[in-house]
Structure 1
Amino acid sequence: MQIEKVVNHIVDWLKDYATNAKVNGFVIGISGGIDSAVTSTLCAKTGLELLCIKMPIHQAESHVTRAEEHITQLKQRFTNVRDTRVDLTPVFEEFKTEVTLEGKQTTVDMALANTRARLRMATLYYHAGLQGLLVAGTGNKVEDFGVGFYTKYGDGGVDLSPIADLLKSEVYKIGEYLKVPDSIMKAAPSDGLFGDARSDEDQIGASYPELEWAMQMKDEGKTADDFEGRQKEAFEIFLRYNTLNKHKIIPIPICDIPNNLR
């Protein structure tokens, strides 16, 4: 990958899109992870306004620390970067008092995790609307189009996706080029939706290098029968997520009404 040219291409794309949309710049949620760090740095390089928002909800301290470190670095490097903090913990707790928490605990936990992401999406769009900004998404190609590892209308609710055609390994290469803090480069990827430090691999059961490999194998027409041992296991994990989350990966289905019924 020609890293410098890819970076310049994304920055130019962002700038052109924002200019054509007649907006002032971008708003992005900063999680302390590699994807939001790379995306926010790319947005900052456009020279347009960038509002970085921290939105903790019972957040693991390590995530908060990394987010603060990254924002501090960004503001030192770019004069067009601002930041704010919106503590959504009270909102989340109030929400829990108004809905039923009955049911299988794992199901309730997942529903609440997705609620966190949707509260953050609403917060980003609130600030975007007030200040004439676009919500920049942070999903990469494996998450968005491989396993669908994001919340529908949560972190998946964005105006544009600058890094959605990059594999996770490519995001790391760009992060190194952009001088993303080492603490973020070395941290295990995590969605931060459960209030602890569990990683994406803990949840999915496979690492991003394994998922990238499986995604490539699927594109080449391979099946689980072509592999053995851990490769077979990782490939089946990928296929399971790819199938279950197809409703996220493909466009929302529309019921077309035949002309003879109109």
Structure 2
Amino acid sequence: MSERLEAKVDNAVSLVTAAAEILKSEEGEPAEKLSLILEELCKASPDILNMHFDDPSAVSVAFSPRKNKRGESNIGVSHKDRSHWKNPYVKDGISVSGLVQAVGASDRKIVNITKPVYSNGRFVGLAVAALDLEQIAAQVLKGLATDAYQIGIFGRNGEVIFSSGKSVPLHNLSIEERTHRSFTFSNAEYYGYVRPLAVTDWSVGVFSRTVDRKTVLVQLFIRNVFVWLATFLAAIVIGFLASISVVRAVEKLTRQMTAARILPDKSEKIKSPRELVQLQRTYGRMQ
């Protein structure tokens, strides 16, 4: 699951990086042209709700889609108070936010991926993409049995960015153990495992009720006992059948030796096992 999620986020980061390069090279072009470019980029990833370019004053100069659901233009809107302008000068160049409530272009909770754009040392603006986290989560969880498990995506401070259901109250879980690569959550009723992602400071976790986990362990134990018993019985049957073959071969050799025959007659000829066949030939040569 973490690998699927990483791939989705990494794809979105690549598109925002491409958008930033375009803004740098096409700075000053009409909003119509820039918006067309953003529309083409959005088509490459259905996980992105919208993309936009903001100038240094935090005003959108290009946007895809160009209008919101109310029919109002998304271009020329000030984003100064939006979450992606709280820290526009990101040191490593890319910023992936936690869960934020979108206003304006969208009315749902989103995750913003932001990249500042510089040209000859001058701050040109921001390239921003809003991720549809529900769409991403649906694709990540596709084909996975989620009825018995609760899937959670966590932000940098452990806040819940996404939760696949209400079977496990993720907000009430506390960290039990943490290492540089992973940490587990548990209490008397729930158990889970969380893995950090490489492309962002998120983590993805899988949780289940302790009672469900115990049920799985009991079922696994019963299944293993059944397999062991079946293997043991099969070994007994195979050993018994093999012993019959050996006993019959010894009886044939005994009859030949009692009669002191160099060559065994038809009823005394041994066909298996190989060691007794060799022994019968050696006895004949000795005679």
The TM tier, using the shorter chain, reads under 0.3
The structure whose residues are more often strand, as a share, is 2
- Greater Cα radius of gyration, structure 1 or 2: 2
- TM norm structure 2: 0.25
- TM norm structure 1: 0.27
